[in-house]
Structure 1
Amino acid sequence: MSKLSLVVASGLLGPAPARAHPRCATLSACSSTTPNTNLDRNPSMTPERIGLVQQGFRAVAPIRTEAAAIFYRRLFTIAPELRALFGSTDMAAQGNKLMASLGFVVQGLKQPDIILPAIEALARRHAGYGVRDVHYEIVGQALIETLEEGLGDAFTPRAREAWQAAYTMLSQVMVAASRTSERPETLP
């Protein structure tokens, strides 16, 4: 049984940290379908699905360092070429940024007017780091596999559907926003 599964089983599901959106260099999740940036009217994100995503994140939050390590291990296993986007990045600090950003978004799913500008700004920054549309799908796969590995049996089919719906919705916003940014010829 994984540490995440033990946390779920033990009932240590305190509220996820609500943090201001940090400046981060993480990749985000994806979908290649047409963007629907109207988060509050997105039919895929029902109150039940939002609750399932938030409950899942509460299970991840106590061991966010391990969860971030799982995520990056999965990401680089799926697409080793993405390591180049991180250069000499301190991956422990990067993992903290990933989890803070994810926590901000998950907690804001019921308040799209608050998270939408931050998500769009994050996407524009990612475009500047060299992130391309195709990367969102890869990162999404790594995220779902991380949750599956970390949560074990607690990552039910309903929880998977909820995370995939949230991920798809947010990645559509990010892809659309990244297309409005200028893409540098070289990375900083």
Structure 2
Amino acid sequence: MRRLGLGLAAVLAIGAGVASASALTGGSGNDTLNGPEAVQPDGRGASVPVTVADPDGGVAWAVRVYRSQTGLTCPEAGRTKDGNFGQVYDDGDFHPLDIEAAGSCADLAKAPMSLAVNHYPPSGKLPARAVIFGVITPKVTGLTLISATGSRAVAVTGDAFVVVTREDALLGSSLEAALADGSTKSYALRPSDFPLTKPEDPATG
């Protein structure tokens, strides 16, 4: 497994309140596709194929997917309310977000799936949390999240998935993809390498 930096996408994600972000799959190995244009939307809009309930009773989570100017597929984790995609900040309100260069872009012609993790700092009574998200291709037939407490199937809707968990639950965990050829591919997950402290204008997990 190759761990890849998100570059500009990570900077923008942190600006939206994510304490740190990492992409575990999806790199192209092409400098042109790894530059700023790699995360810039191509102007054709985006879809929100999957939403899940917040495990702590907050605003639901979602994945928004757009295409970049270089043809990459760019999933972005956030919240959804009344059909809008956005974030929930420390004021407790939901803030819709326009489509901007904030996705974890991947070349799905060269990888069976895209996988990224956003790490959110503690907020109020909420512990530090991690949001695992991405998109799959037809090469992937199923996803399983494996942790110290057991394993569970990850639901996929419209080729996208999102899982919200406690940050400390990532220790020793992995996401296993079952492939159409009968093989499996495992992606190791781990807590953030950076202290999960609140940025100046954070979004809540």
TM-score (norm 2): 0.31
Structure with bigger RCO (C-alpha 8 Å, 6+ apart): 1
More helix by share: 1
More strand by share: 2
TM-score (norm 1): 0.33
